[in-house]
Amino acid sequence: MARRNERAAGIGSRAVQIGFLLGILVLWYLATNRWGVNRLLLPNPIAVWQQLLDVLKSGEYLPDLRITLTELAAAFALSLTFGTIVGYFVSRTGYTIRVFEPLFAGIYSIPIILFLPLYVLFFGLGPESKIALGATISFFPIVLSTIAGFGNVDRTLVTAAKSMGASDYQLFRYVLVPAALPVILSGLRMGFTIALLAIIGSEVIASLAGLGHHIVQLAEGMDMARMFAYIAFVVAIAALLNSVVSFLEARGRRWT
Amino acid sequence: MTTRDAAVRIKGVSHQFGEAGETQYVRALADTSLDIARGELLCLIGPSGCGKSTLLNVIGGLMAPTGGNVEVAGKPVRGPMPQDIAFVFQENALFPWNTVLENVRLGMLFQGVPKSEHEARAKLSLEAVGLVEFANHYPSQLSGGMRQRAALARALSLKTDILLMDEPFGALDEQTRMILGEDLSVLLSRTEKTIVFVTHSLGEAVFLADRVAVFSARPGAIKKIIRVDEPHPRKPEFITSKKFAALRNELYALLHDEIRKTVAESARAPEGS
Amino acid sequence: MSFSARPYLLRHPGVVRLGVVVLMLIVWEIAARWFIDPLFISPPSRVLLSLGAVWQTSGVPAALRLTLFELATAFAIAVVIGLTVGLAVGLQPFARRSLMPIILLLYGLPQITILPLFILYFGIGAASKIAFGVTHGMFPIVIAIVAGVQNLKPILLVSARSMGASRWQILRWVIFPHMIPSFFAGMRLGMSGALLGVLLAELYVSTAGIGHFTTMFTENFDPTKLFGLVAMLAAMAIVLNEIVRRAETRFSRWR
């Protein structure tokens, strides 16, 4: 009896979710087609769909996508390298952890996007400023999780390995890395997600190219339908990238 | 037994943490001297904080004592001696990301055993502890008792003369302890290893040991050494014998006051124990 | 009695941390003075000395006040919406099952992509900044409150009911006090979110807020004033964060 109620509740909530999404679409359609909402504020959903298909077919997104992805790859490569290396060395003694971890955590607590104007002043409006900002912002979750990962390795494991004669290299490779990996991987995933947001954000705010910038261009041209379509496209790309990264993280944590 | 060489010589070992006058100052171990004969199983038993685990770590080279020194196989101990000494810890010493078999092999890799011997030695030690069917299981998939068997297999595969065990069954329930104790006795009767075994359990000490060193409350010193004259492997019937009860009572009498002292001490001192 | 430095430093990692920060400032100072074009970077000494000039630049204090106003308004609205929606969804299990996935989905979207849309709808004035701050701030609050209600141990409700408590009494004396730590945790995240939203909108387009001046200083290649302004904003962010964090610790003591 309880299980039937459980299942009914499950189906019911699914129904509400689907109903909610459908309802939004219906309202959207009615608003633009029946209730006379200004097309300059809210485009016709059908027009948005057509624009989306056009964007995809024409491949107009390709140069922007390439730029954004390049910026993302470069930024993440930088933050991953520096974050893990610095994090490892900080984690080696309790003292260095006590010195540096609060420093990194403190800086991370402020919105680092604030420094975007500084980077734009220094690097210009090109991809370098996006890469620099993306790398800076994503450095912090990576370094913090690396410190946590290596710093919280069960001491007994280290003692056991040393008592069996493990060399420093063997200790690192066979004990420290596997023990720290789950935490580090989750930090890498966070860093990636944040880098993506930072880069798209800086493209919206101050850029000459890239996916974020293209949305701004469409907004300035008041091309509402196409802008909505482009926004949907960018959101989809971001979601896709994040799923891939989450999947990779889960794969890396197979033994937990 | 006295005609054999001493496998381990403990000479005037004492240990303190911190300097006198500091808040973290603790005299963990008072002047202790002892010779452990080759092939004997010595139990260290005493109240919490009496320094028995400290002494074990000193013997194994995991800790340098602030006073005295230890000789193992004629050589002074200056650090871990993986060729001569293997450890079994209370828990959490198996690498959770490796299977049982991988754990055993990793131990051999660390010690420097040639790869060609890994397979054979691993198989032998897993058979000895009865874990062959679980070779490809992960520690999280095993019960506490099986995990300790795996830890023991790893230690055995290193073929050291000396085995140091720090409350290996401490995290297990009584019934598992009983079974593992019996199996351990059978297993060790087949080898010539020298074993030093730290425990809290009176019954375990009498059942397994050739000699039991009873420690006083902190700072611990050996109060008395009791000899258990019973051939190995020890049978389950030994536990119900009068000899066993007498020995156990003797241990109890020696320990009871020390335990009371320790409890009173820890009630007074808020932290740092 | 001689003073040995090492044990002192060993016991005070905070001092060493300060030393690290000072070291970084020195490196910045040297690099800015002798190695990098002063058009792009300004040494900290000069930035510090010109803070007064920044403050006196016409419009800057008003801009800071405006930005604070935008933040406070956005935060207040986010709290109200977050609390209402959070309680409504959290207290009703069916609502939670149906609506939480949608809420989480919306939370995961990169909101920055619709910033131009917000500007189109709300204009380039304070309204768009406040609106963007609200949308960034309200989600963490909803999620924290729902989580807070959810981890209420059922045994507490059972024992209250067994003592004859009415629905209202349970809400007032069991659920509400239990939720305060989660509420403050949500507020902390909500504050960061609102700050982020307001800042993003300001940096995008601003006629009277601090975004206007960051653009101005950037376009005029005035790194001194720009660093100074950014430093002031960073200090403001740190202070706000600290205030909310302390409030959270104080009200979460029973955890």
The DSSP code for B157 is H
- Do B85 and A163 make contact, defined as CB atoms within 8 angstroms? yes
pLDDT (average), residues C169-188 = 85
Residue type, B131: L
| Interface membership of A172 toward C (CB under 8 Å) | no
* Yes or no, beta carbons of A163 and B83 under 8 Å apart: no
Restricting to B residues 63-82, those with a Cβ less than 8 Å away from any Cβ of A are 80, 82
Q: Delimit the domains of chain C by residue range.
A: 1-35, 51-251
What is chain A's mean pLDDT, rounded?
91
Give the pLDDT of residue C1: 46
C15 contacts in A (CB within 8 Å)? none
The enclosing H or E element of A46 equals helix A45-58
For residues B202 and B251, the answer to whether their CB atoms sit within 8 Å is yes
Say if B138 is an interface residue toward chain A (CB within 8 Å).
yes
Residue C171 burial (CB count, 10 A): 13
A 10 A CB-CB count for C245 gives 16
Mean pLDDT over residues B208-212, rounded? 94
DSSP B83-129: TTEEEE-SSS-S-TTS-HHHHHHHHHHHHT--HHHHHHHHHHHHHHH
How far away is chain A from the Cα of B90, in angstroms, using its nearest Cα?
A: 9
**Residue from the list B96, B98, B158 with its beta carbon closest to the beta carbon of A164:** B158
Give residue C92's pLDDT. 85
Q: What is the mean pLDDT of chain C?
A: 88
Q: Kindly provide the ipTM of the predicted complex, given to two decimals.
A: 0.88
Q: What pLDDT does residue C254 have?
A: 67
CA–CA separation, C21 and A83 (whole Å): 18
Cβ contacts of C204 on chain A, cutoff 8 Å = 204-205
The residue to which tokens 């699914």 are assigned: A14
Do B and A count as touching (3 or more CB pairs closer than 8 A)? yes
Q: Are A57 and A157 in contact (CB under 8 A)?
A: no
B112 touching chain A per CB within 8 A: yes
* Chain A positions touching chain B (beta carbons under 8 Å): 154, 156-157, 159-167, 170, 174-175, 178-179, 255
Question: Is A114 in CB contact (< 8 Å) with chain C?
Answer: yes
Q: How far is B114 from chain A (nearest CA, A)?
A: 14
To the nearest whole percent, how much of chain B has pLDDT over 90? 56
Q: pLDDT value at position A1?
A: 63
Q: Answer yes or no: do A162 and B80 touch at CB < 8 A.
A: yes
The CATH number that domain C51-251 falls under is 1.10.3720.10
Asked if B89 and A178 come within 8 Å (Cβ–Cβ), the reply is no
Q: Is A238 on the interface with C (CB under 8 A)?
A: yes
Q: Which of residues 122-181 of C touch A (CB under 8 A)?
A: none
Q: Do chains B and C touch (3 or more CB pairs under 8 A)?
A: no
- For the ranges A29-43, A154-168, C234-248, the lowest mean pLDDT is seen at A29-43
Q: How many CB atoms lie within 10 A of CB B23?
A: 7
List Cβ<8 Å contacts ≥24 apart for B147-151: B147/B91, B147/B94, B148/B88, B148/B91, B148/B172, B148/B180, B149/B180, B149/B183, B150/B94, B150/B100, B150/B103, B150/B104, B151/B88, B151/B89, B151/B93, B151/B94
Whether B60 and chain A come into contact, CB under 8 Å, resolves to yes
| Record: contact C223-A121, CB cut-off 8 A | yes
Contact (Cβ atoms closer than 8 angstroms) between residue A127 and residue A71: yes
The arithmetic mean of pLDDT across residues A170-192, rounded, is: 94
Alpha-carbon distances, residue A150 vs A143, A147, A175, A178, B230 (angstroms): 11, 6, 10, 10, 48
Question: Residue A117: its chain C contacts at CB < 8 A?
Answer: 203, 214-215, 217-218, 226, 230
Please say whether the beta carbons of C122 and C230 come within 8 A.
no
* CB spacing of A156 vs B93 below 8 angstroms: yes
B172, B148 Cβ separation under 8 angstroms: yes
Residue C3's pLDDT is 54
Q: Which helix (H) or strand (E) holds A51?
A: helix A45-58
Nearest CB partner across the interface for B87, out of A160, A170, A174: A160
Predicted confidence at residue B2, as pLDDT, reads 45
Q: Among A33-47, B258-272, C88-102, whose mean pLDDT is lowest? A: B258-272
DSSP code of A172?
I
Q: How far is Cα C64 from Cα C66, in angstroms, rounded to an integer?
A: 5
Give the least confident one: A71-85, A198-212, C37-51, C123-137: C37-51
Contacts of B158 in chain A (CB under 8 A): 164
- Does any CB of chain A come closer than 8 Å to the CB of residue C228? no
Please give the pLDDT value at position B270. Answer: 58
On whether any CB of chain A is under 8 Å from the CB of C236, the answer is no
Task: Measure A194 CA to nearest chain C CA, in Å.
Answer: 10
Distance (Å, whole) CA C68 – CA C73: 8
User: Which of B87, B96, B106 shows the shortest C-beta gap to A163?
Assistant: B87
Residues A105-153 pLDDT 10s? 989 989 999 999 999 999 999 999 999 999 999 999 999 999 999 999 9
Read off the pLDDT of residues B121-149 as tens digits, 9 standing for 90 and up.
Answer: 999 999 999 999 999 999 999 999 999 99
Are B5 and B57 spatial neighbours (Cβ–Cβ below 8 Å)? no
Question: Are C112 and A200 an interchain contact pair (Cβ–Cβ within 8 Å)?
Answer: yes
Is residue B15 a contact partner of residue B63, using CB atoms and an 8 Å limit? Answer: yes
Chains that touch B (3 or more CB pairs under 8 A): A
Say how far apart CA C196 and CA B113 lie, in whole Å: 57
Q: Does B106 touch chain A (CB under 8 A)?
A: yes
> Are C114 and A231 in contact, with CB atoms under 8 Å apart?
yes
Length of chain B in terms of residues written: 273
What's residue A176's pLDDT? 95
Report pLDDT for A182: 92
Residue A79: band (very low, low, confident or very high) from pLDDT cuts 50, 70, 90: very high
Per-window interface: A 213-232 vs C, CB < 8 A: 215-216, 218-220, 227, 231
Which A residues 84-103 touch C at CB under 8 Å?
95, 98-100, 102-103
What pTM does this model have?
0.86
Tokens of A131: 């890469």
Q: Which residues pair with A66 in a beta bridge?
A: none
Assess whether pLDDT exceeds 60 at residue A73: yes
CA dihedral A47, A52, A58, A63 (to 10 degrees): 130
In this structure, what token pair is assigned to residue A19?
């109903």
- Alpha carbons C237 and C243: distance in angstroms, whole number: 10
Provide, as residue numbers in chain C, all residues whose Cβ is less than 8 Å from the Cβ of A234.
110, 113
pLDDT band at C15 (very low <50, low <70, confident <90, very high): confident
Question: CB-CB: which of A110, A118, A204 is closest to C238?
Answer: A110
Radius of gyration of chain A (CA): 24
The residue of chain B with its CA nearest to that of A160 is B93
Contact A156/B92, CB-based, under 8 Å?
yes
* Chain A: closest CA distance from residue C176 (Å): 26
* CB–CB contact C94 A231 (8 Å): no
Q: Is C170 exposed, middle or buried (0-12, 13-18, 19+ CB in 10 A)?
A: middle
Q: Percentage of chain C surpassing pLDDT 90?
A: 45
Residues of A in contact with C93 (CB under 8 A): 9
> What is the Rg, in whole angstroms, of the alpha carbon atoms belonging to chain B?
19
B41-62+79-268 — its CATH code?
Answer: 3.40.50.300
Backbone angles phi, psi at B88, to 5 degrees: -125, 120
List pLDDT tens digits, range B28-54.
Answer: 888 899 999 988 999 999 988 888 999
Q: Residue C110 contacts by C-beta under 8 Å, 6 or more apart in sequence?
A: A196, A197, A200, A234, A235, A238
**Are A52 and A233 in contact, with CB atoms under 8 Å apart?**
yes
- Looking at per-residue pLDDT, the higher value among B25 and B40 belongs to B40
Of B82, B98, B138, the CB nearest to A163: B82
On whether any CB of chain A is under 8 Å from the CB of B141, the answer is no
Q: Is C122 exposed, middle or buried (0-12, 13-18, 19+ CB in 10 A)?
A: middle
Contact A227 C218 (CB under 8 A): no
Instruction: List, in order, residues 6 or more apart from C91 with CB less than 8 Å away.
Output: C149, C175
B80: chain A residues, CB-CB within 8 Å: 162-165
Looking at the predicted structure, is the pLDDT value of residue A256 above 80?
no
B104: nearest CA partner in chain A: A164
Identify the residue whose tokens are 């009767």.
Answer: B189
Find out whether B244 and B206 touch, Cβ atoms under 8 Å: yes
HEC secondary structure over chain C: CCCCHHHHHHHCHHHHHHHHHHHHHHHHHHHHHHHCCCCCCCCHHHHHHCHHHHHHCCCHHHHHHHHHHHHHHHHHHHHHHHHHHHHHHHHCHHHHHHHHHHHHHHHHCCHHHHHHHHHHHHCCCHHHHHHHHHHHHHHHHHHHHHHHHHCCCHHHHHHHHHCCCCHHHHHHHHHHHHHHHHHHHHHHHHHHHHHHHHHHHHHHCCCCCHHHHHHHHHHCCCHHHHHHHHHHHHHHHHHHHHHHHHHHHHHCCCC
Chain A residue whose CA is closest to C245: A109
Check residue A175 and report its DSSP letter.
Answer: I
Asked if residues C190 and C140 have their Cβ atoms less than 8 Å apart, the reply is yes
Which among A204, A217, A224, A228 is the top mutation candidate for probing chain C, defined by the most C β-carbons within 10 Å of its own β-carbon? A204
Determine contact: C121 vs chain A, CB below 8 A.
Answer: yes
Both structure tokens of A69: 């992805």
Asked if B93's CB is within 8 angstroms of A164's CB, the reply is no
Element (H, E) at B8: strand B6-17
- Residues of A within 8 A of B85 (CB-CB) are 163
Lowest mean pLDDT among A81-85, C139-143, C225-229: C225-229
Neighbours of chain C (3+ CB pairs under 8 A): A
